[in-house]
Amino acid sequence: MTFQSSFLIRCWMSSAPDANPVKSYYIQHVQSGAEFRCADLLEVNQWMTSRNHSYLAEMLAGSAAPDDTIQEDAQ
């Protein structure tokens, strides 16, 4: 069985050379609604990986309500 997750990622960029936003990335896990803000792509990747593992564990334990849009592939 395969669980798929979707993420919404927003990035704020500035053309000013001295502009350095503190939290320039916003990520939302679509199925659970979990949100995260961070400053660099490494943090984005770590959070997405962590969220995927947590969501999979929740789904297997039956504590997360499955969304009708989740695709499951029997393998």
Residues 6+ apart with CB under 8 A from 70: 3, 4, 31
Contact between 21 and 12 (Cβ < 8 Å): yes
* Measured distance CA(2)–CA(73) in Å, rounded: 5
Question: Which pTM does this prediction carry?
Answer: 0.68
| Sole residue written with tokens 């393998």 | 75
* Strand pairing class (7-11; 35-38): unpaired
pLDDT number for residue 68: 46
pLDDT number for residue 63: 60
Q: Is 61 strand, coil or helix?
A: helix
Mean pLDDT by 10 residues, the chain (75 residues): 85 73 85 92 94 88 58 45
